[in-house]
Structure 1
Amino acid sequence: MPTTTSLDQDRLFPAEPRTRELARELYAGVAEAPIISPHGHVDPTLLATDRPFADPTDLLITHDHYVTRLLVASGCQFDELGLDPSRPADARAVWRRLAEHWHRFAGTASAYWIRHELAELFGIDEELAPANADRTYDRIAVTLAEPAFTPRELFRRFRIDVLATTDDPLDDLAAHRTLAADPGFPGRVLPTFRPDAYLDPEADGFAGRIERLLAESGRSTDFVGYLAALAGRRAHFVEHGAVSADHGVLEPVAFDLDAAEAERLFADAVAGRLDSAGARRFRGHMLFQMARMSVDDGLVMTVHPGVRRNHHTETFRAYGPDRGHDIPVRTEYTESIRPLLERFGMEPGFHLVLFAIDETLYSRELAPLAGFYPSVYVGAPWWFLDAPDAILRYRSAVTETAGFYRTSGFIDDTRAFLSIPARHDASRRLDAAFLARLVAEGRVSLPTAHRIAADLVDAIPREVFKL
């Protein structure tokens, strides 16, 4: 029989009674604060069109690769999960598969978020299981049809003040214009410039993208024209409210090349004759150029490195990207990014947020870098690390060197719209727990801890992302 799973009001707090009481007090001060989400992947058309959600599976499973990857690892097939656009699966059957395998999610961040969503949004207070799969599916489906459950109504209910999306450089940003022009829409939905596929010669379709970029901008077909076209698209994003440019790279390497080498590499890249060493130098030079442009136009530069995308070639060819097989690799910042910091690290107004999925970087490299360069901030735990224990390890690794105010504030980095409150609530609870320990150990005063807890959800992300 399914067991009850009513949310524990002290979840994620320390077990020691006095420290738990302090955590409760600190959390209470920020629990209802508006959400600032300066980096994520929610589709802005969801809010612009305000169409009702399709069904429970589309809402909670299909677009969440945290969920689908573990289902695949547990023996489910991509086709039966509805991940083949040409062969849609039965939504109820997919939900049954999740219920069948729900026990395998125990202890994962995905289970924590989904339990929060089921309880808080749908009043479901029992563990998923085959016996209740149809009942829970029907309950969610009924709720989805209610007028109070449209994307915009949930945006209000979630108390989202700022939501940043991730967008292709050639996107016309029509959805963002629609939302910005609507006086009844609360909060801000901001685009984020994401140029990876236009900077990496080894990305599929690189030459075609550059051809379109240059054609739409009317720029010359040389490297100078290419840079001008990218700068023009960045300006388009700034005009539509963007505050940051995001860079997902395998390695955060930067090269300051002379004009002749840059021109030669660009020509070879467009012609498809660049070898892997040349492609690496070109990518590194373009990361350097993106920093230069951020100094010029003020966009915050965020770097998300260290992931081997699409690890399983057959899966990528059959089902495309973002299917859960992006796997972390070792990463190094100190030497790799030094040319960029030598040139721009002390520039007034330049903000560089460095993320890591390799935990060894936190205390060894990122905290020391952020503890010296005014431009550098340590990005929040990301992807596989945005989980309770990993978040606490991050705070322990970073705080003694860089403090709290050289970090980014929480980043949910999610495509799963309904999980945003659960993720931010978890972060607030964990920061309260960490601060409570510092207070209990006499390392931070209680008034200071209250201020830090509040700043972590508001003042810090506003400062880092120039909001």
Structure 2
Amino acid sequence: MANFIHPDFALEGKTAKKLYHDYAEKLPIVDFHCHLSPKLVANNHKFESLGQIWLEGDHYKWRAMRTNGIDEKYCTGDVSFRDKFQKWAETVPYTIGNPLYHWTHLELARYFNIYEVLSPANAGKIYDQATEMLQQDEFSTQNILKTMNVEVVGTTDDPIDSLEYHKSLKGFSVKIRPTFRPDNLLKTENGQFFLDYIKKLESVSGKSIKTLHDLIEVVDQRHAFFDSMGCRASDHGLDRIYYTKNFRVESEKAFTRLLAGETLSDEETESYRTFIMYELCKMNHKRGWVQQFHLGAMRNNNTRMFQKLGADVGFDSIGNSQDAIKISRFLDLLDSEDKLTKTILYNLNPADNEMFVTMLGNFQDGRTPGKVQYGAGWWFLDQKTGMEKHLKDLSALGLLARFVGMVTDSRSFLSYPRHEYFRRILCNHLGNEVDKGMIPNDQELLKTVIQDISYNNSMKYFGF
């Protein structure tokens, strides 16, 4: 029987195979948005076992295991990684049709040269083989990045971060760039959390924050520091875009109430968040950064498990459709003041695909190709069906050839085959369109489009 992961995996026709192998396969990876730990890279960390590198912090796998009836102790508990891996192996056969099935076997093949289909029967052997390999120097974090042909990594960093590990990585051959992620400025639901965060900002900046003006000055100081450290992008993980017309008038009062430990009304919250995002976007424009908006996640749905385990452990889902009017008003506000920088909108609800693609067409400037981008399918849409719909919708309503391409959006050093997965799906999509006569079989044109989407566009867009 042929290997499940083979050279032409996910490539359906001769044209798709040629496009991938000739034009996409060997290109470097630009992973401009992920959640890798810069500390682990700086320390050139080596993982103790396959269970540790593969299962620790992976809420994708945890969700699947819970759905398969696996006890929580094998997900977030303190049982051994070997035992956790065995339970993951028991779950894998049930992930048929889920991207986890493809990712699992691509990662075994690309990192460990293991082409067996993972099952409970061979889990122990695979675990031991991969764990032994992980002890070798070639599996340190820095060597993993180099082996996987990664050229740029964009980490995700809070404004209070010292960026000490980025500084120590200045001479590393892979560019490790920080990304400014100021989401904690908007987390006003928990009053004590918010006040504690303001104190952290005061500590790291050496300045007192008594007014909204003080807050913006401190955040701008941190923004400038990130810029000096090579940061070229911000990222904002929002449930939605905020906008209210009178935000300038109401936001100061709202901030005063927050500092007093008071709870804001919905209207006050909208004003404050609109103001903060408006000021952050002006900073992004001032320093020529790319700003990314990850929109639409409904987080921490399970109160019982949130209280027990905290956030980011796999109890999130797709939220309601986005408010197109507020997206339009907010982007129009920035554009009307000539303060709209390069912008990537990531959408999590597939019902909004066409709205997002047509929205970004409203705010192109006629000077910067693809200035406002429709970001790659992320989180629940980071799978074959989601990516295919993304490519079709962007092709039909925008300019696919200007797309800046894929990101891992991952915390795992084993996630880089996701770029390969995307490139295969991209080449298969274009190859099928060629075979149907909907795109000319012009190899120079196809080569340019594929290599631009896979590599060139992001390098130019971010100025790497």
| TM-score interval, normalised by the smaller of the two chains | over 0.9
User: How far apart, CA to CA, are the structure 1 residues paired with 2:61 and 2:209?
Assistant: 45
Matches within 5 A, 1:174-189: 174-180=164-170, 182=171, 185-189=172-176
One-letter amino acid of the counterpart of residue 380, structure 1? A
* 2:123 pairs with 1:123: no
Instruction: Report SS of the residue matched to 1:443.
Output: coil
Matches within 5 A, 1:166-177: 166-177=156-167
Match of 2:14 in 1: 21
Q: Is the 8 A contact 2:154 2:176 kept in 1?
A: yes
Measured after TM superposition, the shift of residue 264 of structure 1 is 0.3
Provide the residue aligned with 1:227 in structure 2.
216
Quote the offset at 1:59 in angstroms: 0.9
Cα-to-partner distance string for 1:265-296 (whole Å, 9 max, x where unaligned): 11112323212332233223322222222111
Please state how far the C-alpha of 1:256 moved relative to its aligned partner: 5.3
* Aligned-residue RMSD, C-alpha: 1.9
Shift of 1:45: 1.1
- Give yes or no for contact 1:269–1:279 (8 Å, CA) kept in 2: no
Q: Which residue of 2 aligns with 1:268?
A: 257
For 1:36, the equivalent position in structure 2 comes to 30
C-alpha contact (below 8 Å) 1:219/1:225 kept by paired residues: yes
The Cα shift of 1:306 comes to 1.0
The partner residue of 1:384 within 380, 385, 391 is 380
Give the whole-Å Cα distance in 2 for the aligned partners of 1:280 and 1:258.
Answer: 8
Q: Distance in 2 between matches of 1:464 and 1:289?
A: 22
How far residue 360 of structure 1 moved from its aligned partner, in angstroms, is 1.8
The 3 A distance-change label for structure 1 pair 450 and 100 is: same
Match of 1:449 among 436, 439, 446: 446
Corresponding residue number in structure 2 for 1:356: 347
Is the Cα contact below 8 Å between 1:254 and 1:338 reproduced in 2? no
Residue equivalent to 1:255? 244
Moved more, 272-281 or 168-177: 272-281
Q: Distance in 1 between matches of 2:321 and 2:227?
A: 31
Q: Is the Cα–Cα contact under 8 Å of residues 244 and 302 in structure 1 kept in the other structure?
A: yes
Letter paired with 2:112: F
Give me the whole-angstrom Cα distance separating, in 1, the residues matched to 2:347 and 2:146.
32
* Match of residue 434, structure 2, among 435, 439, 444: 439
- Find 1:299's aligned residue among 264, 283, 289: 289
Name which of 401, 423, 428 aligns with 2:397.
Answer: 401
SS of aligned partner of 2:414: helix
| Match 1:103 to one of 67, 90, 93 | 93
Deviation digits for residues 58-85 of structure 1 (CA, Å, limit 9, x no counterpart): 111122111111101222222233x24x
- Per the alignment, in what secondary structure is the counterpart of residue 214 of structure 2? helix
Instruction: Supply the AA of the counterpart residue of 2:5.
Output: L
Cα–Cα, structure 1 residues 394 and 258, in superposed 2: closer, same or farther, change >3 Å?
closer
Query: Structure 1's 264 and 298: CA in aligned 2 closer, same or farther, altered over 3 A?
Result: same
- Give the equivalent residue in structure 1 for 2:311: 321
Q: Residue 56 in 1 paired to residue 50 in 2? A: yes
Q: Secondary structure at the match of 2:411?
A: coil
- Cα–Cα, structure 1 residues 296 and 319, in superposed 2: closer, same or farther, change >3 Å? same
Shift of 1:372: 3.1
Contact 1:298 1:349 in 2 (8 A): no
Matched position secondary structure for 1:234: helix
Equivalent residue of 2:36, what SS? coil
Q: Distance in 1 between matches of 2:56 and 2:247?
A: 46
- Confirm or deny: 8 A CA contact 2:24 2:450 kept in the other structure: yes
* Equivalent-residue separation in structure 2 for 1:349 and 1:451 (angstroms): 28
Structure 1 range deviating more: 263-272 or 435-444? 435-444
1:216 and 2:209 aligned:
no
> Do the aligned residues in 1 keep the contact of 2:64 with 2:91 (CA within 8 Å)?
no
C-alpha displacement of 1:348: 7.4
Stretches of structure 1 lacking an aligned partner (at least 5 in a row): 15-19
After TM superposition, give the deviation of residue 344 of structure 1 in Å: 2.0
Residue 418 of structure 2 corresponds to: 423
Structure 1 counterpart SS, 2:324: coil
Number of aligned positions between the proteins = 451
Question: What residue identity is the alignment partner of 1:275?
Answer: S
For 1:366 and 1:259, how far apart are their aligned partners in 2? 27
Cα pair 2:402 2:453 within 8 Å, conserved: no
Secondary structure at the aligned position of 1:354 is classed as strand
| Matched letter for residue 452 of structure 2 | D
The answer to whether the 8 Å contact 2:281/2:340 transfers is no
**Aligned partner (choices 61, 71, 75) of residue 69 of structure 2:** 75
Return the TM-score normalized by structure 2. 0.93
2:186 pairs with one of 181, 188, 199: 199
Distance 2:339 2:437 in 1: 36
* Change in 2 beyond 3 A, CA 1:260/1:333: closer
Alpha-carbon contact 2:247-2:274 (below 8 Å) kept: no
Kept after mapping to 1: 8 A contact 2:251/2:268 = no
Taking only the aligned residue pairs, the percentage that are identical comes to 25
Q: Compared with structure 1, are the counterparts of its residues 36 and 117 closer, same or farther at alpha carbon in structure 2 (3 Å cutoff)? A: same
Deviates further, 272-281 or 105-114: 272-281
Quick one: which of 71, 80, 84 aligns to 1:94? 84
CA contact (8 A) 2:250 2:272 kept: no
Distance in 1, matches of 2:302 and 2:402, equals 37
- Comparing 442-451 and 165-174, the one that deviates more: 442-451
Question: 1:99–1:129: 8 Å Cα contact kept in structure 2?
Answer: yes
Partners of 1:414 and 1:401 lie apart in 2 by: 29
CA distance in 1, matches of 2:446, 2:180: 35
Offset at 1:107?
A: 1.6
Q: 1:176 to 1:256 in 2, by over 3 A?
A: farther
Residues 128-162 of structure 1: CA distance to partner in whole angstroms, max 9, x if unpaired?
22222211111111101112111111111111110
Contact kept? 2:281, 2:339, Cα under 8 Å = no
Question: Match for residue 11 of structure 1?
Answer: 9
Contact 2:296/2:347, CA 8 A, preserved across alignment? yes
Aligned counterpart, 1:411: 407
Unaligned runs of 5+ in 2: 365-370
